[in-house]
Structure 1
Amino acid sequence: MPEIKQVAVGAEEDLELLIEAARNAGEIARPYWRADPEVWDKGSGQGPVTEADLAVDRMLHEYLLSERPEYGWLSEETVDTTSERLGKERVFIVDPIDGTRSFIHGDHNWAHSLAIAEEGEVIAAVVFLPLRERLFHAVKGQGAYLNDDPLIVTERCDLDGATVLAPRQHLDDEHWQGGAPKFIHKYRPSLAYRLTLVAQGRYDAMFSFRDTWEWDVAAGTLILTEAGGQVTDREGKAPVFNQPRPQLNGLVAGCPNLADGILARLK
Structure 2
Amino acid sequence: MPATDLPLLIDAALEAGRIATRYSGRTAQRWDKPGDAGPVTEADLAVNTMLEDRLPGARPGYGWLSEETEDSTDRLACERVFIVDPIDGTRSFAEGSRTWAHSLAVAQGGIVTAAVIYLPQRDLLYAAATGQGATLNGEPIKVSQKATLAEAEILAAKPNLDPRHWRQGSAPDFARAYRPSLAYRMALVGQGRFDGMLTLRPSWEWDIAAGDLILREALGRCTDRTGQPLRFNNPHPRLNGIVAAGTRVHQQLSDALDPAGTGIPGTAKT
TM (normalized to structure 1)? 0.94
Determine the C-alpha separation between the residues in 1 that align with 2:26 and 2:165. 40
In the alignment, which residue of structure 2 is the partner of 1:121?
Answer: 111
Of the candidates 226, 240, 264, which is equivalent to residue 255 of structure 2?
A: 264
CA-to-aligned-CA distance 1:75-114 (integer Å, 9 cap, x gap): 00000012x1011111000000001011011111100000
Within a 5 Å distance, the mapping from 1:41-190 to structure 2 comes to: 41-82=32-73, 84-178=74-168, 179-190=170-181
Structure 1 gaps, min length 5: 1-9
What amino acid is the match of 1:218?
Answer: A
Determine the C-alpha separation between the residues in 1 that align with 2:178 and 2:67. 22
Q: Tell me, what secondary structure is at the counterpart of 2:122?
A: coil
Determine the C-alpha separation between the residues in 2 that align with 1:125 and 1:161. 30
- Identify which range, 55-64 or 41-50, moves more after superposition: 41-50
Q: Tell me, what secondary structure is at the counterpart of 1:56?
A: helix
- Identify which range, 234-243 or 36-45, moves more after superposition: 36-45
Determine the C-alpha separation between the residues in 2 that align with 1:157 and 1:237. 22
What amino acid is the match of 1:34?
Answer: G
Determine the C-alpha separation between the residues in 2 that align with 1:201 and 1:45. 34
Q: Which runs of 4+ in 1 moved over 3 A?
A: none
In the alignment, which residue of structure 2 is the partner of 1:204?
Answer: 195
- Identify which range, 35-44 or 84-93, moves more after superposition: 35-44
Determine the C-alpha separation between the residues in 2 that align with 1:215 and 1:80. 12
CA-to-aligned-CA distance 1:134-162 (integer Å, 9 cap, x gap): 11000011100001210111111311231
TM (normalized to structure 2)? 0.93
Determine the C-alpha separation between the residues in 2 that align with 1:33 and 1:146. 26
Q: Tell me, what secondary structure is at the counterpart of 2:3?
A: helix
Equivalent pairs, count: 257
Determine the C-alpha separation between the residues in 2 that align with 1:197 and 1:214. 18
Structure 2 gaps, min length 5: 259-270
1:182 deviates by 1.6
Q: Tell me, what secondary structure is at the counterpart of 1:32?
A: coil
User: 2:112–2:213: 8 Å Cα contact kept in structure 1?
Assistant: yes
Determine the C-alpha separation between the residues in 1 that align with 2:34 and 2:173. 36
CA-to-aligned-CA distance 1:150-199 (integer Å, 9 cap, x gap): 01111113112310111111113332222211211111111110000000
Determine the C-alpha separation between the residues in 2 that align with 1:266 and 1:78. 34
User: 2:40–2:90: 8 Å Cα contact kept in structure 1?
Assistant: yes
Name the % identity. Answer: 53
What amino acid is the match of 1:97?
Answer: I
Determine the C-alpha separation between the residues in 1 that align with 2:164 and 2:230. 25
1:26 deviates by 0.4
CA-to-aligned-CA distance 1:188-240 (integer Å, 9 cap, x gap): 11111000000000000000000000000000100000000000000100010
User: 2:143–2:245: 8 Å Cα contact kept in structure 1?
Assistant: yes
